[in-house]
Chain A
Amino acid sequence: MAPKETPKMKQRPIVRLGILIISHSVVVSVICCISGVVALLLLPILAKNTYISENALMPGSANPMLSDQDVGEANKLVNALLDLKSEPISSGRVSTLVAEFISDLGAEVGYHKFYPESNQFHPLHFFSLPDSGSLQENVNCSMYGINVIGIARAPQGDGKEAVVLVTPYNSENADLSDALSIGLTYSVFSLLTQVTWLAKDIIWLVADSRYGEYSSVSAWLRDYQRPVFGASLILDSDTCDGGSRPYDLNNFMTCGKLIDNFKRAGTMAAALVVKVTEKSEPFVDTLNLYAEASNGQMPNLDLINIVNYLAVHRQGLHVKVKKLIPLLNAKWLNVLADILETVGVIFRRLNPQWKFGIPAAEYIDGTATLASSLYYQALGIPTGPHGAFRDYQVDAVTLEFSPYSLRKGRHKEFLLQGSRLIEGVIRSVNNLLEKFHQSFFLYLLTSPGRFVSVGVYMIPFILLVAPLPVMAASLYMNIFDFGPNTETGQLAVSPRSVTWLDAAKMVLIVHFWGAIVSLLPYCICQMDFSTPTMNLAIWSMLSALCFLLLCLVLGLHFNQTEKAKWVVLKSATLSAVFIGLCLMSVVNFATAEIGALLLVPLCLMIHPLKINPNMGTLVNFSRMALNFILLSMAFPPVSFFLLQGAVYGFHGIDIGDFWMWVESLWAWNSATYLYITMIHLPCWVLCLHILLHAR
C-alpha cells in the first residue's frame, strides 16, 4: 500500500518570480533606476531617421508651378502694406487692403470679428474647450480684432476638406518681415486660386495678432468649429452695441451681416502657420519648425517630414527645431558624448554590423534638441498659433522663415523660395485621401530628420517606475514576519490592516490637500494682489494653513511611534506615486518622465532622520545627506529654479518667477499644473513626513 502523499502546493512560476523580485527589491531598484537614466541618455543614439509613411503624400513629385508673376503680385502687396505703415490709422486699413487683394484674385473674402479672451483659470473646465457661452463674462467691448479670411475653392473638389494657411499679422507693430509673411502666403494663395489640381479648399486666415497670435487663431477656430445660431448675434448687439467701429469697415460690417459672412469650407486636413522673422543665421536661409501643442500633443510626424523633406531637398533651406542652447556647452555632456563615441567605435571594431554610437557633436546636438522637445512637451504650453488647431485634432505646424537673403534686399528671391515650399507642402497634403494617420503622433525629435518613437522612449520611463511597486510590496511584506503557522493568521492580520488603513488615510488626505492647493490660485487671482512674489507667498501660506486645518479636523497624529507605521506609509506613498506617474504618462508623457526622474529616487531612498545604531556613522550620515538633497531637489519651486539656473544661469532669478511660471501653466490649461499640485506636491509632502518621522 502506497502511503498517501499530501501533494505540496507548488506555486505557479509567475508567483515565484514575483516573490524572487520582491525579495531582492533593493538590487532591482538600483539596477532599474540606473538603467532608466542610462536609457534616457541613450535616446539620441537610438533615434531613427524620419521617413514618409503615407504613400499618398508623394512630396516633391510635382514641379512647383509658382512663377515670378505670382511673386511680383505679392511684392506689390508687400509694398502696399509698408506704405500703410506710414499712415497714422492703419488698423482697419490693413484688413481692407488684404481683403481687396484677395477678392481681386477671385476668391471669397470674409471677415471675422472677435473679442480676445484674457487667459483665465477655469478650474472646472480644465480639459474641456472653452465654449462660446463663457465668452460673455470676460469680453472687453472696446477691444476686438478682425481676422480676414480668404477661401479658394477647389474647382473640381467636393468641398468636404480644406487646408488652412495662417498668417499672423500685427498691424500696430508691423515691420518688413510681417509684411513679407503676408506676401509669402499671398503668392501661394494667388497661385492656388488658378490651379486645376486642388482637391481641398484653401482657407487663408490673416489673423489679427494685436492681442496675441494664439488668441486670434483660437477665436476663429472656435467660431468655425462651433457655429452658434443667434447667441453670437445677441452678444454683438447686446453687450457691445454701438461700439466704435472703424470708419472704413462700417459699410460691410454690421452685426447681422458679420454672422452671415462667416465663411466656411470643409473639414481641416492640415494647417500651416507662416511667419517671417528678421533674426537670421549667418549665410543660410533657415526655417524653424514649431510643432508642440497643448499638453505635449504633436502633429503627425508625416507633416513635419514633408515640410522637412521639401525644405531641405527642394528649396535648399536649413531646417531647425528648437534646442536647449546652454546644453551644447555643458561640460558633462561633452564628456559623455566622447565616452559614447568611443564605446561606439569599440563596438564597431568588435562587429562592423553593429551600428551603435554616433559622432560626439551629433550626440550633443541630438541631446539638446531632445531635451528641448521633452521640456516643451512637458510644459504643455503650445509653442505657437498651431497649438489652437491641435485642440480640434487638426495637424498643424508653424513655419518660421528667417531668411538671410533679406539682408541683401533680395525679397523676390526669398518670396519665390518660401512660397514654393508652401506650395509643395500644400500639393502634398492635397494628395492625402484621409486624415494624417500613418505616421507617429507620439514622438520626440532629436533633429528635424531624426525622431524617437513612443516605443523607444517608453523604456526609460518604465525602467524608472518599475521599482516603485516592487519596493512597495517588499516593504509591506517585511513589516511582519511571515510565519509558516497559519493558525495565528487571523490575529496577525487585524493590526496590519489597521496600520495599512491609517497609511492609506494619510495618503488620501494629503492628496485631497493637493487638490485644494491646486484651486487656491483661483481665489488669489480674484483678490488681485500686485506682485508675483506676494501672490506666491500668499499661496504658500494658505496651503500651509489648509494643511494644518485638515490635520486638525481629520485628526492626523504625528506621534506614531511604531516602526511599522512609517514603513507602511512609505509603501503607500510608493504606490500613490506609481499610480500618479502612470496616470500622468497617459496624459502627458514628457511630464511623467521628468517627474519620475525627480520623484522616484526620492521615494525609494526616503528614510526617517534617525541614527541607526546598527550601521556606521558614515552610512547614516550619507543617507541623511542624500535624503536632504533629493528632498530639496524634488520640491517644485526648487527644481524649477535649479532648472532655470542650469539653463539660463543663476543671476537674476526672482522668487516671483515661479508664480509666473505656474500662472502660465494654468492659463494654458496645462495638465502639468495638475500634476504638480495633485501628484508631485502631495508625494513630496508625504516623503517629508516620513523623513521627519520620529521614533
Chain B
Amino acid sequence: MKETLKVHFQFSPMAIRILLLSLCLSNLYASSSAVASSSQTATHTNNWAVLVCTSRFWFNYRHMANTLSLYRTVKRLGIPDERIILMLADDMACNARNKYPAQVFNNENHRLNLYGDNVEVDYRGYEVTVENFLRVLTGRHETAVPRSKRLLSDEGSHILLYMTGHGGEEFLKFQDSEELQSHDLADAVKQMKEKGRFKELLIMVDTCQAATLFSQLHSPGVLAIGSSLKGENSYSHHLDSDVGVSVVDRFTFYTLAFFERLNMYDNASLNSLFSSYNPSLLMSTAYYRTDLFPRRLEQVPVTNFFGSVMETIHTDRPYRARKRKESQDRIRMPLKEAVQDNQQRRLSDPEIEVRRVQAPEDSIGRTWNSLQNKMKIFEYPETFVYYGLVMMLPLLAVSTWLYS
C-alpha cells in the first residue's frame, strides 16, 4: 500500500489529471457498453518479457551476455521471473574455455556476474529453435509444456520481446541451423493480436540489419526498435582480453547504460531511451518503427515495457457490496463470450482478479478518490496546515461572537 502511494506522489499533477480523466472515461465506457474485450480499451494488466539469445558457441559469448544483462535489468525493474521467458543456448558459463567457470560478465571490469543466483532459463540449449520461439509467442504449446515455459499474457499485457544474435536482411539466424524470417515474426505477432495476447508489444532486436526484420509487421500496438539499418552491421562494444572474447554488443551496452541510471519508480519515457542512442557510438543507426503504435512515445514510460509498474489505483476498502452489480452486468453478455471470458480468466493470472477488485466502480469510491487526489494538489502538508489554521480564525471569531 505504501508503495502504491509513493507511486502516486511521484506522478506530476498533470499526469494525475490525465489519469483521472482516463479513469473516468474508461469507467464510462465500461458502464455504457458491456462488450469491453477489445484490446484497445483493455487496461494495462501485466508485463511480460521474452528474451531470446539465438546464437551458441563460445565466440558468441556477447549475445548471451546481452540477453542475461537485459534479463537482469527487467528483473530489477520489477518483472517477476515467472513472467520472463528466457531462451538461451546457455553454453557459456560452463564452457571449458571460460576462464571464470560458472560466471558470465558483460564488462571487462568483472564487477557484475550475470550468471549469479536465480537465473531461470526457460528454453535452454537446443530448445532454442524457431519452432519453440513461435510456439511461445502464439501460445500453441503441446499439452505437456509446463506453465512456466508459456507466455500467459492477456489482452492487457505489455510484452517486451528482445532478440539478439546474428541476422541479415529480413532474417535472424537461430543457432547456425535455422532462420526466423521477418514474415514469420510478423505472422506470429498477428496471431498474438488476434488471440488477444498483448495490448502493446515492444520488439527490440540487436543484430546486423535489424531494421529489416520489422518490414512485414502490420499489427497495431507494436513498437519495434532495431540496432541497425539495412546494410549496416551491429558491432560489439568491447573485448574482454582476460576472457578472450567480446562481452557485449554496442546497442545493448548503451541500452543498459540508460537503464542503469533508472530505478523502478523513474518516469523516463521511451522517447528518452530512443534518443539516447548515438549513431557514432553505436557505429550503426538505431531504427524505430512507431507507425503501428497508438501512443506518443513521450508519454510512455519505459517501465511500461521494461518494468512492471502499472496504474494501480488506491482504494480504501478492498471488498465492497456494489461488486455484485458488475457481475450482473457480465451475465448479460452473450453466452459464448462469457465462456471465452471465463476461460481466459482461468488461464490468466490471479492478478487480473485483484485488478477487478481494486478498480473503483461505485460513486462513493470515486468521490473519495477524487477528494483524495484533489488534496494532493496541495504540494506540501505544511500549506494544508496553514490553510487549516487560517480557516480556524473565522471559526474562532464566529464561536466567540456566538458566545458573547
Contacts and interface: CB of A to CB of B under 8 A. Distances in A.
B368 interface: no
B95 interface: yes
A433 B57 contact: yes
A316 interface: no
Given A61-B244, A196-B101, A427-B244, A156 B59 contact: no
Interface string B74-111: 00000000000000000000111111110000000000
B58 A157 contact: no
Contacts of B245: 58, 61
A109 interface: no
B250 to A, nearest CB: 17
Given A56-B58, A196-B101, A431-B59, A156 B96 contact: yes
A155 B242 CA distance: 18
A63 B96 contact: no
B59 to A, nearest CB: 5
Contacts of B100: 196
A672 to B, nearest CB: 40
A436 to B, nearest CB: 15
B96 A198 contact: yes
A286 interface: no
Contacts of A157: 96
Interface-centre pick from A55, A58, A197 (highest chain B CB count, 10 A): A197
A669 interface: no
B282 to A, nearest CB: 21
B40 to A, nearest CB: 46
Interface-centre pick from B58, B99, B244 (highest chain A CB count, 10 A): B244
B97 A199 contact: yes
A430 B97 contact: yes
A55 B246 CA distance: 12
Interface in A58-108: 58, 61-63
Contact of A431 (B101, B244, B246): B244
A158 interface: yes
B239 interface: yes
Size bracket of the A interface? 20 to 34
Contacts of B242: 62-63
Interface string B209-237: 00000000000000000000000000000
Contacts of B58: 56, 431, 433
A516 B233 CA distance: 63
B244 A197 contact: yes
A624 interface: no
Contacts of A430: 97
B186 interface: no
A203 interface: no
Interface in A139-181: 154-158
Main SS class of interface, B? loop
B96 A199 contact: yes
B242 to A, nearest CB: 7
B368 to A, nearest CB: 63
Nearest to A58: B59
A197 B57 contact: no
Given A431-B59, A433-B57, A433-B58, A62 B95 contact: no
Interface-centre pick from B97, B99, B101, B245 (highest chain A CB count, 10 A): B97
A275 to B, nearest CB: 27
Interface in B231-267: 239, 241-246
A195 B246 CA distance: 20
Nearest to B98: A197
Given A58-B245, A62-B244, A197 B97 contact: yes
A56 B96 contact: no
Given A198-B96, A199-B95, A433-B58, A156 B244 contact: no
A198 B58 CA distance: 13
Interface in A409-436: 427, 430-431, 433
Interface residues of B, number: 18
A197 B98 CA distance: 5
B99 A55 contact: no
B94 A197 contact: no
Interface string A197-233: 1110000000000000000000000000000000000
Interface in A217-257: none
Given A56-B59, A431-B58, A433-B57, A61 B94 contact: no
Contacts of A197: 96-99, 244
Interface in A454-468: none
A329 to B, nearest CB: 45
A157 B94 CA distance: 10
Given A62-B244, A427-B244, A55 B97 contact: no
Interface in B93-138: 94-101
A259 B59 CA distance: 40
Nearest to A433: B57
A156 B57 CA distance: 16
Given A55-B59, A156-B101, A61 B241 contact: yes
Contacts of B241: 61-63
A198 B241 CA distance: 16
A427 B98 CA distance: 12
Nearest to A427: B244
Contacts of B94: 156
A199 B59 CA distance: 13
Contact of A56 (B57, B239, B246): B57
A191 B190 CA distance: 56
A157 B97 CA distance: 8
Contacts of B95: 156, 199
A63 B246 CA distance: 13
A427 B58 CA distance: 13
B96 A58 contact: no
A62 B94 CA distance: 19
A158 B95 CA distance: 10
Nearest to A155: B96
A176 to B, nearest CB: 34
B101 to A, nearest CB: 6
A154 B96 contact: yes
A579 B242 CA distance: 56
B97 A158 contact: no
Contacts of B59: 55-56, 58, 431
Contacts of B57: 56, 433
Interface-centre pick from B58, B95, B239 (highest chain A CB count, 10 A): B58
Nearest to A434: B57
B97 A61 contact: no
Nearest to A55: B59
A55 B166 CA distance: 12
B64 to A, nearest CB: 15
Contacts of A427: 244
B235 to A, nearest CB: 14
A156 B241 CA distance: 20
Interface in B283-321: none
Given A61-B245, A156-B94, A196 B99 contact: yes
Nearest to A195: B99
A156 B98 CA distance: 9
Interface in A176-198: 195-198
B194 to A, nearest CB: 40
Contacts of A158: 96
Nearest to A59: B244
Which 5 A/B pairs are nearest by Cβ-Cβ distance? Answer: A62-B244, A199-B96, A156-B96, A157-B96, A63-B241
Given A158-B96, A195-B99, A431-B244, 19 more contacts: A55-B59, A56-B57, A58-B244, A58-B245, A61-B239, A61-B244, A62-B241, A62-B242, A62-B243, A63-B242, A156-B95, A156-B101, A196-B101, A197-B97, A197-B244, A198-B97, A199-B97, A431-B59, A433-B58
Interface of A: 55-56, 58, 61-63, 154-158, 195-199, 427, 430-431, 433
21 contacts: A56-B57, A56-B58, A58-B245, A61-B239, A61-B245, A62-B242, A155-B96, A156-B95, A156-B96, A196-B98, A196-B100, A197-B98, A197-B99, A197-B244, A198-B96, A199-B95, A199-B96, A430-B97, A431-B58, A431-B59, A431-B244
